[in-house]
Amino acid sequence: MAPSDESLTDIQREVLKYVQDHLTQTHRPPTVREVMRHFKWNSPQSARKHLLALEEKGYLEREEHTARGLRLAEDSSVGVSIPVLGRVAAGLPLLAEENREGTMVVDPSLARGGRNLFALTVRGDSMVNAHILPGDKVIVQQTTHASPGEIVVALVEGEATVKTFRKTSSKVVLEPANPKYSPIVVGEGQDFRIIGKVVGVFSPR
């Protein structure tokens, strides 16, 4: 459901901002009791009332039967929740529950055009000269195709790597942005596939 034109009350805006900030900082939604404690309300019913109002106005959605089932609506103007993957493994569906560490909120403009997005935590320093540092989260558009020069997430023999994609008539090269590392040249017969291209970077610093 798209957010309605009905304006939010001041407290509803504060609750919505708290949910968004909690998702951004912890990559998981708050519980009803965490909302209650944050606003120093005496009863969880007060938190439920405001959260329900935000659901009815189309700003929040809820998964049933889980304490942390809140998420920002996909078409909410304040942000879009996307999954954060701790790893990307061969043989598993990309967004399988085994891969997920949580969620994070990104600007809705990144999801325009029906982009299917996920975030991946960067583990190494091979892309530092592209301003992608260890601990950063790259925002990735799922795709199996990329143009030369684009930064991609690729699987090489089942291992995920973030590199600049280069291609010649005879080979694929995954190029780091750190002189300490050599390019990865994908040999004939190697298990290789592109799973997405980087469309944004989130730094926790």
| Residue 202, SS3 per DSSP | strand
Residue of 57, 137, 163, 197 marked active site: 163
**Can you tell me the distance from the alpha carbon of 119 to that of 136, in angstroms, rounded to the nearest whole number?**
10
Measured CA to CA in angstroms, residue 139 lies from 10, 57, 84 at distances of: 31, 28, 9
Beta strands in 17-135 (DSSP E): 60-62, 70-72, 80-85, 100-106, 117-121
Query: Would you call 154 helix, strand, or coil by DSSP?
Result: strand
CA-based radius of gyration for the chain: 20
Active site residue 40: no
CB 94 within 8 A of CB 88: yes
- Report which residue type is found at 23: L
Three-state SS for 88?
A: coil
81 is catalytic: no
Q: Determine which one of 57, 76, 126, 137 is catalytic.
A: 126
CB atoms within 10 A of CB 69: 14
Helical axes 10-26 vs 44-56, angle rounded to 10°: 90
So which residues are the catalytic ones? 126, 163
